[in-house]
Structure formats: structure tokens, C-alpha cells
Amino acid sequence: MPDTLSIAFIGCGAIARYHLDGIHDFGDRIRVAAAVDPDLDKARVIAAETGAAVYPSLDAALKANCFDAVDIMVPHDIHEELAMQALKANKHVVLEKPIATSLDAAERIIDVARKAGTVFMVAENAQYWPEIVCAKKLIDTGAIGEVITARATFFYEYEPKWFDQRTPWRMRRSATGGGIAIDGGSHWIRPLRMWMGEIDSVVGITGRPMESMEGESLAHAIFRFQNGKFATFHALNIVSPLFAGERWRVTGTKGELVIGGDWIGGELKIFDAKHREGRSISEPGGYTKSFGLELDDFADAVLKGTPLAASPEFSLGELRTALSIYRSAESGRWEKVWD
């Protein structure tokens, strides 16, 4: 059985830096064999660091056949095309969230992945975010008693590095499938699902305070879970200074867990009868550490056959939740997530 996974980076933009740093965190288990981007200068940056071959397209890279897996990090509207192409070429695929811009496209990808028999993973790094994982362990062991409710706050100031293209794709609704909820907001939805169970239905509103973004840059919603509990979700992207405060709060019958700090990471604290002023559980900075754990899980699935922490079917949840928020904003009613 091989002990190294050769992979092609498909898309060498801003998120590729986080993926590459994550690979470095876990030594030599993953080797970047190809860097693919129509902007060859971006591909050459990855190649200079990894020794990867440079290609302008996935088609050209597949013809060279120098890798076993692909890491797809491109605008959402071309996820389906590239994932399908790689899966049909019998490559293992890790695909940045969301799976696609529509539920139909997402289900088509999952269906082809099942038939291919190769590993298919949706890269939702919140599943591996150390503060999130630590909070789940505390909840599961009863540290704050029975969970009553939670809230997630994803407020972040406009950062040019995520919009560095001449015509930023994140500004185009046709490319993203929506706006903040379907994109970065998914990192805040996944922890709520990890901590509280599956979401049954949502009611929400959206807005566009950042007028240059075609999709919503503001989303507020209430999530009703299948167990009857509720949580709130607040998301905002705006060109304005913002307070780096509370990001998540989980309230139980014996106390609370709070993760604060900027959107990259935050300190996890527990508040209970013994620690009314709060006791620090972990230091900030977990977001950047989650990518190595995520890709290590993918490598284990390919090299050892171990189950992924989250299946592609489970990973539909963030897309379904975002789309339900959009439907609710139009209908003004509660909308089901899984029906």
C-alpha cells in the first residue's frame, strides 16, 4: 500500500495557500505533483515551492497523468464541471465547499462519485477546526449539561485577498450561487450541526449592504433542529471596521461555551458554576490549523481506506441550509432543509 498521495492543485488562488500550508503541517504524506490554473503565474508560485508541473487546465493535467487525486479550489459555478471530469478520470477528489451552486448539481456530483468508487470529499474545514472539535467534545461529555440553544456570528470586514481577481468572482451571484451564506457562512453552519444535530427548517432574511456584491452580504436566520431546539445565525460582510468579538455561543443547562476573536480563529472559554468569569480552554488561531487536519483525513481515506469525518451526503447540509435561507427570504416563511 502506498504511503504518499500525489495530488494536483486545481486553482491556485488565495485558498490554495492555506491548503499548501496544511500539507506542510503533515510532512511528506501528500505530494503536490501538479499546479493547474489558467493564470500560469499563480500556478508557478505553487510549483516553485513544491516542484509541481504547471498546467493551464485540468484537461492538460489529466493527459499528463502524473497524480492520483485532485484538490479543486475554484469558483463555485465550475465545481460540477471539474469534479465530474476528475471523477470520470478515476481520480480521488477533494472539493472546496460548497459542492455546487444548486442542489441538482451537487447530487449529480455525488452520484458520479459513488459510481467512480474513488474517494470524494467536500472540504468543509470547520469539521476539523480545533476550537470547534474541542467544543464538541465538551458538549458530548456533558460539560455544559444539555444544550439549550446556540448562536453563530460571522461578521467580517472586506478583505481584498479574497477578492483579488480583476473581476472578483465572489462579487458575482452566478459564480457563487448566492452570497455570504452559501460561501463563508458555511463555516459557521457546520459547527452548529456538529453540536446540535441536523437542521430541520429555517426562517431568514437577506440584504445587500455591500452593493458591489450581487449576492447577499447580510443574512440573519433562525435554525430549528430536528430535536426541536433552536439556534441563530448572523452573517455580514461589509467595507467597515468591525469588532472581533464573539463568534459562537452554546448555552446549556450547566453553563456556556464561547468562542471569540476574529473570524480566523478564537479562544474557546467555558463559563460554569466553577468558572463564572470564564476559563480558557484553547488559544486562538485554529482556522489556519484546520486545513492540515482536513487534508490528512483525505489522505487517510485514500491511502488507508478509513471513513471520512464527514461524508459527501452529510456535507450537503450547508448547501441545503443556505438555499433554505434564500427561499425563506423570498417566501417570508419557515422553509424545510431536507424535504
Which one-letter DSSP state was computed for residue 304? H
Identify which of 222, 189, 149 has the alpha carbon closest to the alpha carbon of residue 317: 189
Q: CA 127 to CA 118: how far, in whole Å? A: 21
Q: CA 32 to CA 47: how far, in whole Å? A: 8
Whole-structure pTM value = 0.94
Q: CA 286 to CA 309: how far, in whole Å? A: 18
Cis peptide before 56 (omega within 30 of 0): no
Q: Which residues contact 51 (CB under 8 A, 6 or more apart)?
A: 32
Q: 11, 74 in Cβ contact below 8 A? A: yes
Domains observed in the chain: 5-124+290-308 (3.40.50.720), 127-286+319-336 (3.30.360.10)
Question: Digits of tens for pLDDT over the chain (339 positions)?
Answer: 678 999 999 999 989 999 999 999 887 799 999 999 999 999 999 999 999 999 999 999 999 999 999 999 999 999 999 999 999 999 999 999 999 999 999 999 999 999 999 999 999 999 999 999 999 999 999 999 999 999 999 988 776 665 555 568 888 999 999 999 999 999 999 999 999 999 999 999 999 999 889 999 999 999 999 999 999 999 999 888 777 788 999 999 999 999 987 656 678 999 999 999 999 897 666 788 899 999 999 999 999 999 999 999 999 999 999 999 999 999 999 999 998
Cell of 210: 455591500
Q: 221, 232 in Cβ contact below 8 A? A: yes
